[in-house]
Amino acid sequence: MTTCEWPTTPLYQDYHDYEWGRPIHDDQHQFEHLCLESLQCGLSWLTILNKRNIIRACFDHFDIDAVAAYGESDIERIMQTEGMLKHRPKIEAIINNAAAFKRIQSEFGSFCNYIWGFTNHKTIIYENHPEGHFPTKNGLSTRISKDLKQRGFKFVGPVTIYSHLQASGLINDHGKDCPCFKEINKTADIVRLPVDDEA
């Protein structure tokens, strides 16, 4: 049997059961996930989940237009918020990324059109992943990371992007015996592919 054993708290379990791996086709939700993944660099995901409501409040619940318009006073406000992660470069990166996100929306019609275009608008199931053999990054996440960086994004390395692809349902990395694996496959347009330059 291969089930997802990483949820170790009720909060983690809820995230696993109702969010992680479920295809996201909404730009604001995509933006939130991308921001949370970039904040997570060097930290545990459980830390991010525990602070999620604080983070949401700091960034206007990830209203893309609002965040893109932030200035120095907003950075100071966020830095002084009790319980918030005090990492100025990551805070600045989120503001920067909101503006870059808007440029992608203008070019492609939506960020979802852009990022799902890398998978031909399908949820990928890679060979051996349902058995629990998945990497920290792969060829797909490296290609997307490179393109995002060229478009001005920050804190979007291949490992961060691979996590984003898992979380937002472009890749289904639930274990084959996890109920979520089957639920997602029933409703998503899936494609099974060989591994892609994994590391």
- What are the residue numbers of the active site? 15, 37, 45
> Considering only CA atoms, which of 28, 25, 30, 6 is closest in space to residue 16?
6
Helix (H) or strand (E) holding 47: helix 45-50
- Measured CA to CA, the distance from residue 179 to residue 163 in angstroms comes to 20
* d(C-alpha 76, C-alpha 85), whole Å: 12
Q: How far is CA 119 from CA 100, 128, 135, in A?
A: 21, 18, 18
- Rounded Cα gap, residues 183 and 30, in angstroms: 20
**Which residues in the chain belong to E strands, given as ranges?**
123-126, 190-193
- Give me the residue label for tokens 């949401």: 56
| CB-based contact 153:107 (threshold 8 Å) | no
Contact by Cβ (8 Å): 40, 21:
no
Amino acid at 30: Q
